[in-house]
Structure 1
Amino acid sequence: MNFDVDRLVFTPDDVDLSRSPLAGHLDAETYVLGAFNPGLTRLPGGNLLMMVRVAEALRKPIRDGKVHAIRWEGEEGSAGRYVLDGWPLEHADTADPRKFLLQGNKWRVMALTSLSWLLPVELSPDGLEVVAVHYDRAVAPQGSWQCYGVEDARISRIDDHYWMTTCSVSPERHSTMLYSSENGLDWRFEDMVLDHQNKDMLIFEGKVDGRYWAQTRPLGDLYFAYPPDSEWRAGPSINLATSPDLLHWKPCRKPGIRPHAATVATARMGGGTPPIRTPRGWLSLWHGVEPHEIVGIYRTYWTILDAEDPSRTVATQHPPLLEASPALTRPLEDKMYVRDVVFTTGIAEHGGVYVVASGEADLACRITHIPKSVFA
């Protein structure tokens, strides 16, 4: 679908790496591989806030016969330091620009070509102009469980309190962390809330029957088949969980949003924006992936979930809501390293439209105004 307001509002050129958490730690040049996948919320004063994932990468990761990655090192709660690790190049598969696989293991083992941290970027109320960039409030690794970075914030505002989930990457686990804030700018680490390889955790912006709800997306290498005539396809799906306190989560027995057998565009899928209340129920924007080359084609879809039973779908559509836009990234052509990717991560109301924030091409932050009537 095409929308009247659809533009990039923050790109790698807008990041000042002299103010990065990594500044001064490494004897190597870094650059911004991407400034993308922004969590979004409205601040008490009316402006919007994006928590932008800044993927900071080595300018020359391959040298002296090794491929290198950045890692945070230190004790939990300490300032820590950033160091470089190198692996023999002959043991690494570097086909994917975002990561490299270490060969010779009995299971997939990989390292990243960048380390991610979160940068708060304040926007005008309509999300179209940058008001301030808050480097002093950046969220960076602070424990061994996120030594390879903090990724893909999702922000939910519940009863005037802000909750942010992030994905933390380390050799220990690939897990979900919870942060909280009273003003949407100053974030306090709460705890680890989901364990290994459960990504894209989105907390509903409101309770259902007195409990907190969330969408999750567990990953794995083995899925059991649906019957041959089923409308569903086996694979990663968007599951549901409930909690009395946002820290302890119980999976729901009923399934959530599942990949549909009628389209290859959801061969892989996961949550996008925290579900928000609408007159029809909970509006959930999520991503579906069509297999293509190494990365795949990422598109944004929508589903409305029942207000009292979020396991029940009220409405959805197979055609995508958003697709990657080459016209938007054409001025950044020299920085492109993946294509056909839009990854929606934030939503806020603004009059008769939803301000929707997405990562475009794993490179920049895209803001789209989508009329509420689209989901009526």
Structure 2
Amino acid sequence: MTFPIDHLIFTPDDVDLARSPLAGKVEAATHVLGAFNPGMTRLANGNLLLMVRVAEALTEPIVDGHVRSMRWDGERCRLDPWPLQLVDTADPRAFAMRGGGWRVIALTSLSWLLPVELDADGRRVEAVHYDRAIGPRASWQCYGVEDARISRVGDRFLMTACSVSPERLATALYTSADALDWKLEGIVLDHQNKDMLIFEGLIGGHYWAQTRPLGELYFAYPPGSEWRAGPSINLASSPDALHWKPCDHPGIRPHAATIASARMGGGAPPVRTDAGWLSLWHGVEPHGMVGIYRTYWTLLDRDEPWRVIASGEGPLIEPNPALTEPHRDRMYLDNIVFTTGMVDAGDHWIVASGEADLACRITHVPKGAVG
């Protein structure tokens, strides 16, 4: 599907590392591996705000037969050396420890969040707020803060982000009155969950969220079932956005009939429409090292969000190699579009995505294409 506006709005070349929250605190040269997966909302002045994930990586991760990981210790970024014979470096984003009874990885980059202000229609950058950047603030974020999602509920902005550390892989909540000054409220989901999206409005007086807990074991559906076992989009509710109870009903699940969404997770926080809650989510087709990521849509019941009213026949947004072609020399992955934000713009939706784990993409989707 083609759209009237579909472009890269922010790339690694647009990041000034001299103004990074890590500047002067890493004893090695760094570069921007990616500026991608932006949470998005609309500010009081009418402009859009992207909360961009900046993956700041070591320029030379391998030194003297060791690969180094980046770890924030509260004051500086420490470089932890691992002998090459003990690790697998096939994945450009991380290295895996060999042996052991479960998968253990470390990162050669550390992610932080950069507020980027766009004009009201997402066509140009108006300002980059380095003074409001969000880096690790707790020991359970020592490997970085990733993939923000921003929801406005009433007069509050709620932002979830993945916090990475050896302690846990958890979801943290930030709150704000203006989407620029954020307060870290702490951990709200204490299990492996990278896609917590808070609905942009209350249901029955409660906050609701899509979640995506991960695991190494999934139980099979009966033979002939329409569903495929594996990661799915679940639901939870909360009286205060801090304490969450999983919903008894299943949410959006992979269909057995298609391999294109064999793995799935939440994309943009669900928004209220006249017909129901519009949810954009990602489906992953197994392919190569990380798979092919595409964006799909589903309409959920306004009062019972576990009930699916309608879904698109195929992908809404697909990876677009033409967008990243000018940045070919910086690419390390392809076949990925990872939608992370959606804002109402009258006759169309403004959709924010990460493209190829490299840059931020803005797409204008006519409302007639969904729902």
TM-score higher than 0.5: yes
Q: How does 1:181-330 map to 2 (within 5 A)?
A: 181-330=176-325
Unaligned runs of 5+ in 1: 75-79
Match of 1:337 in 2: 332
2:280–2:297 Cα contact (<8 Å) kept: yes
Instruction: Tell me the SS of whatever aligns to 2:196.
Output: strand
Q: How does 1:26-41 map to 2 (within 5 A)?
A: 26-41=26-41
- Cα separation, 2, equivalents of 1:344 and 1:239: 18
Match of 1:55 in 2: 55
- Cα separation, 2, equivalents of 1:246 and 1:344: 23
The one of 339, 347, 357 aligned to 2:342: 347
Cα RMSD (Å): 0.7
Report how far residue 196 of structure 1 moved: 2.1
Report how far residue 278 of structure 1 moved: 0.8
Report how far residue 160 of structure 1 moved: 2.1
Match of 2:90 in 1: 95
Report how far residue 60 of structure 1 moved: 0.5
2:157–2:176 Cα contact (<8 Å) kept: yes
Instruction: Tell me the SS of whatever aligns to 1:218.
Output: coil
Q: Which range is displaced more, 308-317 or 104-113?
A: 104-113
Q: Letter of the aligned partner of 2:295 in structure 1?
A: T
- Cα separation, 2, equivalents of 1:258 and 1:162: 28
Instruction: Tell me the SS of whatever aligns to 1:13.
Output: helix
Instruction: Tell me the SS of whatever aligns to 2:226.
Output: coil
- Cα separation, 2, equivalents of 1:113 and 1:318: 39
- Cα separation, 2, equivalents of 1:262 and 1:7: 32
Report how far residue 318 of structure 1 moved: 3.7
Match of 1:14 in 2: 14
The one of 350, 356, 367 aligned to 1:372: 367
Report how far residue 83 of structure 1 moved: 1.0
Q: Letter of the aligned partner of 2:136 in structure 1?
A: P
Match of 1:177 in 2: 172
Match of 2:45 in 1: 45
**CA deviation profile, 1:178-214 (whole Å, cap 9, x unmatched):** 0001011111101100012022000000001111100
- Cα separation, 2, equivalents of 1:119 and 1:198: 22
- Cα separation, 2, equivalents of 1:161 and 1:129: 26
- Cα separation, 1, equivalents of 2:95 and 2:263: 21
- Cα separation, 1, equivalents of 2:45 and 2:303: 31
Q: How does 1:22-171 map to 2 (within 5 A)?
A: 22-74=22-74, 80-171=75-166
Instruction: Tell me the SS of whatever aligns to 2:194.
Output: strand
Report how far residue 321 of structure 1 moved: 0.5
Match of 1:358 in 2: 353
- Cα separation, 1, equivalents of 2:305 and 2:332: 37
Q: Letter of the aligned partner of 1:175 in structure 2?
A: A
How does the TM-score come out when normalised to structure 1?
Answer: 0.98
**CA deviation profile, 1:63-119 (whole Å, cap 9, x unmatched):** 111000110003xxxxx2211111001111111111110112211000112100000
Instruction: Tell me the SS of whatever aligns to 1:50.
Output: strand
Using the aligned pairs only, state the percent identity: 69
Instruction: Tell me the SS of whatever aligns to 1:153.
Output: strand
Q: Letter of the aligned partner of 2:219 in structure 1?
A: F
- Cα separation, 1, equivalents of 2:223 and 2:269: 33
- Cα separation, 1, equivalents of 2:111 and 2:123: 24
Q: Letter of the aligned partner of 2:175 in structure 1?
A: S
